[in-house]
Structures are given as structure tokens and as C-alpha cells.
Amino acid sequence: MKIDPAMLAAADREKIEALKNPRVEEIIERYVGLCRPAKLTVITDAPEDTARVRQAAMDKGGERALAMAGHTAHFDGYNDQGRDKGSTRVLVPPGMRMSKVIDTADRYEGLREILGIMDGVMAGKEAVVRFFCLGPLNSRFSLRALQITDSFYVAHSEDILYRAGYQEFLRSQGSPDFFYFIHSAGELDARGCSKNTDKRRVYIDLAGNRVLSVNNQYAGNSLGLKKLALRLAIFKAGKEDWLAEHMFIMGAAPEGKNRTTYFTGAFPSACGKTSTAMIPGQLIVGDDIAYIRKGEDSLPFTVNIEQGIFGIIEDVNPKDDPLIYKTITTPREIIFSNVLVKDGKPYWLGMGQPLPEEGDNYRGAWKKGDKDTEGNAILPAHKNARYTVRISELENCDPKLHDPQGVAVSGVIYGGRDSDTSVPVYQSLDWAHGVMAGATIESETTAATLGQAGVRKFNPMANLDFLVIPLGKYIKAHLDFGKSLAKTPLVFATNYFIKNAEGRFLNEKVDKKVWLYWMEGRVHGEYGAIETPVGYIPLYADLEALFKQVFGRAYTKDDYNQQFSLRLDKFLEKMDRMDKVYAEEEGVPEEFLACLKNIRRRLEEAKKKFGKGVVEPEAFV
């Protein structure tokens, strides 16, 4: 390898050469030549290598040790606190068709720009080469990934979140088939945060199976294997016959039933994704990204391509999230990002105890009353502050987390958020209608996001931000996948946020456990349902029994009527919005358009039959 021995120790060189992988060597030579770090370190799966990453994250200032054993804190810069859609582009070669909903840049221009920014960007720094495996080891799901980064926080986070893959690269005997990710945090300020965020870029090069990312450290922008790999995987899956989804994987295990029934679920942010994946008493496989393939007996199987959680810490408290709270407040390896640190302890919003009035946060030294340049009060911790922890540290970790076969998917849940349209839970009529339910997810913005609250955002399969193939093609892949199966999973849609006319939520946060048990029972043919224009909804008697069994709480007919009345006019308004979105897309499958039409027809017929815009559930019996 043509790398200066002064910057690459002989032992590290040997680790690369042992892979006998010309493409790996070529990539390392090329990007070391471009980014010009002062030193290059190669990390294998050996515990002493990964321990070195952890230590270097602290020694180099990317993380600081907290008082509790294994806990560290990291800060991203004040304007590097979330995924940066504005600086993210899919690089498209001439002639490649994309969607209106996807942000693209010309491949040649984009590469020229970002390679220019990366020229010498690692000067004076140490960079690491890392090998990972997306998905369980030695599995037909797994994809190899190579990462080069100059951020030890990024490298350390990836250790927690992803499976080590040096052995997988060895086993692949020089195969050129892998994704690669080149990342630089760029020039750092005194606090170790990326300084030149105006030159932040995240460019996805589908043709090269690579993502280049620079001048950032927030995980959603920097960690190769998270959303960057998801985009490459969606492209790969689109050419093959499987699905790469922004979905959790959880096992529903109702008391006394002696079975685990697996669900995947796609929810846009703030729609209840993590809390559904973590319903007390159930099992978690993953909270963010799932690959789904046809497996044994032509049934759908899924794996979590990650092994850790990069979770929102706001509102994690002993009452609402006892399990996570306990996990992250006891000794184990955890990175807290963008929390408030005071006397070696992490604090966050909604943790269920008063916060100190001063400390260190993502903006530096903070005290109560501090204001930003616009005169707004600076919160003690960021609303998108997070914890990074291995799933195996959770008491409810599913024993099949690392199973190379994955788990069989019995149900798919699409979760939206609206205050006035959808019922809390319904089952789609069939797979194609389920695809429609996923492809028409909308979520209302909340006061927690910037901009106006209550605006509906369209987010097909909660995967809009990561789509790198035309929407029509993506939908066709879902339809075709269902057709290839001997038995399709049941598909459900949830809305935990329905309100009454006075603006009061009609459900409690915990009610989702009842919806889950109903869905689980439907999979096993245990509950009846009422067929409505939009799909199957639960029977009152089943919910009444479930509320009693799960919470010991009464569930009245009035609750049921308020929650499950079909708001036909509101659903029709939604159909208008969806027709408009899909009219602007090319190549949308006819079958999908027919499904939109069919649901509209069913809604209109019901409206005519009942002569009103809102109809009580039992009118459809």
C-alpha cells in the first residue's frame, strides 16, 4: 500500500493487508491521500482495538468521562443538533430519474464540490479505519461496511451501535461488495465541535456505494452506518427483491399467551415509534432500521441492522420510561449527547427531577436565564439530546437480536399523527391497501418542531428523508414484495393523537399497549372486527375486555364511539391531499392508484348512505 510508514504503523498496515482486499486498500490510499490525516489507525474487532477508540474519544476531547462507570458525554456544535436535510444530497448521474420529493445534485458537480472540501480536511488529526457489519454476522442479510473518520466520538458510537465486521471482511475473501463511508468532523473549535458548518455536506453517491460526509458530528449526519447506509441500502434493495426500512422490530408477548409475535413499525418522528418498540412487558429487537427479506417457507423475515439505540432522552423518566431510565442511570457503556453536565452527572429535559441552574451544555457554560442571540432562553439541554447504548443492555432485549435468520414478521404497523382524522388503530383490507396506508402516512408538526404547529407532513413509510429511488418505484417494491410471499403480514395503521372537538386527547399515552394486544390477537385470528371504508376496526367488547385485563380500567362505549367514529369528511380531505402528491409523481403503479380510488369510493358511498360526515363505528356492523 502506498501510505507513508511514518503515519501508518507496521502492525496497522498488516491488519489491512491481511484482508487481501484490493478495493479496501485502494479506498484507504485514495482518501488518506485526499484528506491527509497526520496518522492512521486501523481498528479490528479485537477488544484492545475498540478500547483504544473509547479512550481516544476522551483523550482527544470528543467525549468527557462522567462520574458513573462507563458513562461519557459528547457535545455537537450549537448548530449541529439534528439531521441536516438542507446539506444532504443524492448524487445523480445524467439520465437517472428521481422523484420530486428527493433532493438531488448532479453527480459530477457534487463530487467535485465535496472532494474539494475534503482536500486536506484531516490535517494534523488522527483518522481511524473501521470495519463493520450491517445486520447479524454470517447472515444472508448482512452487508459489510468500511468507515474512515477523524472523529473518535463517531467511531466510538459506531462500536456501540453496530456489529464489528473485520472478521466479515476476512471471510469475504477480498470481495469488492461493501459500502464505504468517509467522514471528517472538519476543523474543530476549542470544545471539539465542527467549526465550518457552512461547509457541511452529506453526499450520497449511489453509483459508488459510498457516502461522503464532512464538517459535522451529529450522528444522523456523521455515522456511516446509520442513515447514510440506510440510503445506500434502499438503493440496493430497490435493485434486488428485499426492503430496507426505517422501522423498529419488536416482539409482542401478551401475558399468558406463551408466544412472541413480531411486528415491524414505521413512524415519523414524534409519532410514538420508540415508545411502541418499548411497550412494557414486550421484547425489543430494534428501534430504527430493519431489513426485510423473504425467508424460509416464503415468509418475511427481518433483522435489525444495528445493535444499539441512539435514542431521544427528553422525557425519559422513572414514570413514563422506567426501563430505559433504569438502564441509562446505572453503570454501563453509554454516550450522552447534548445533555446538561454538572459535577460529572448528565441531566435532560423531562427527566422527572429538577435540573441544576448551571452546568455545561451544547453551547458551552450555561446558567439559567441565558439567552441566544435572538433573545430566546437557552434550554438547559437540547430537545434532541440523546443516549447511545447497546440493546443487549436492556432488560427487554429479544434473545433473537443476533439471530442470522432474523425473526418472522407477522404484522407491520404504520404510525401517523393527526388530531382529527384517523382512528387509533385499524387493520388494512389486504397487503396492497396496507402499502397504501404506509405510503399515505402524515404527521402533524408539534410545538416541539420549528415552524407552525399542526401542519401535516407527508412521509411515506416514514422513509421520505432517506428515499433515493423514485417514490413510485419504492411503492412498487413494497407491492411486489408482498406478492412474492406465501403469506403477507397483516398491516395496521395507528394514530395515538386523535382529539375531540374541544382539543382534548382521546387516549392516554399507555393505551397503545391495548392496540398492540389487539393487533397481536388479530394475527392469531382471535378477535373479530368491523369492516369500515378505511379498513377493519376493533369491536367494542374486545377493547373493553383488553382495557380491563391490561390496565384494570373501564372502557366505556362513549370512549369507543369518540375514538373510533369514522370521520369520513376528514378522511376524504386526506385522500385529496394524497391524490395531489401522487399526481405529481411519475411511475406510480396502477394498482396503487386503484387502491386510492377504491378507498375514496368507499368513503363517498358511506357518506351518501349515512348522510353525514362522522359515523359511529357500530353503524358499519
271 catalytically annotated: yes
Angle at 26 between CA 24 and CA 27, to 5 degrees: 65
Q: Choosing among ligand SPV, Mn ion, none, which partner's interface includes residue 197 (Cβ < 5 to 8 Å by kind)? A: none
x/- string (CB under 5 A) for Mn ion, residues 279-298? ---------x----------
Shortest approach of ligand SPV to residue 134 CB, angstroms?
15
119: its cell numbers:
482536500
Q: C-alpha distances in angstroms, 546 versus 495, 501, 527?
A: 18, 26, 11
Angle at 228 between CA 459 and CA 473, to 5 degrees: 50
Shortest approach of ligand SPV to residue 384 CB, angstroms?
8
* Chain residue whose CB lies nearest ligand SPV: 220
Which CB, 260 or 463, lies closer to Mn ion? 463
Pairing status of strand 248-252 against strand 283-286: antiparallel
Position 288 contacts ligand SPV (CB under 6 A): yes
- Using DSSP, state whether 172 is helix, strand or coil: coil
83, 163, 231, 600: residue in contact with ligand SPV (rule CB under 6 A): 83
- Closest-CA residue to 284 (of 295, 273, 294, 292): 273
Other beta carbons within 10 angstroms of residue 353's beta carbon come to 8
E strands along 56-115, which residues?
64-65, 71-74, 88-92, 104-106
Which CB, 288 or 418, lies closer to Mn ion? 288
In this structure, what are the phi and psi dihedrals at residue 228, rounded to the nearest 5 degrees? -70, -45
Position 387 contacts ligand SPV (CB under 6 A): no
**Could you say which DSSP state residue 500 is in?**
-
Among 139-147, 207-215, 218-226, 322-330, the segment contacting ligand SPV (CB under 6 A): 218-226
Catalytic residue among 35, 133, 193, 271: 271
Position 125 contacts ligand SPV (CB under 6 A): no
Which CB, 310 or 458, lies closer to ligand SPV? 310
Position 306 contacts Mn ion (CB under 5 A): no
Q: How far apart are CA 186 and CA 87, in angstroms?
A: 15
What's the gap between Cα 74 and its chain centre? 20
Which CB, 74 or 226, lies closer to ligand SPV? 226
Which CB, 156 or 607, lies closer to ligand SPV? 156
Interface size with Mn ion, residues (CB under 5 A) = 1
Residue reference for cell 369528511: 569
Q: Choosing among Mn ion, ligand SPV, none, which partner's interface includes residue 154 (Cβ < 5 to 8 Å by kind)? A: none
E strands along 455-568, which residues?
456-458, 490-495, 530-532, 535-537, 566-567
Position 220 contacts ligand SPV (CB under 6 A): yes
Decide if 25 contacts 13 (C-beta within 8 A). Answer: no
151, 269, 410, 495: residue in contact with ligand SPV (rule CB under 6 A): 269
Position 227 contacts ligand SPV (CB under 6 A): yes
Which CB, 466 or 540, lies closer to Mn ion? 466
Position 234 contacts ligand SPV (CB under 6 A): no
Residue 412 exposed, middle or buried by CB count within 10 Å (0-12, 13-18, 19+): buried
Residues 507/512/515/519 CA torsion (nearest 10 deg): 160
Q: Choosing among Mn ion, ligand SPV, none, which partner's interface includes residue 49 (Cβ < 5 to 8 Å by kind)? A: none
Shortest approach of Mn ion to residue 419 CB, angstroms?
23
Which CB, 269 or 427, lies closer to ligand SPV? 269
Instruction: Indicate the angle between helix axes 471-483 and 590-610, nearest 10 degrees.
Output: 90
Q: Summarize as ranges the residues that interact with Mn ion (CB under 5 A).
A: 288
Q: Summarize as ranges the residues that interact with ligand SPV (CB under 6 A).
A: 83, 219-220, 226-227, 269, 288, 310
- Give the residue numbers marked as catalytic: 271
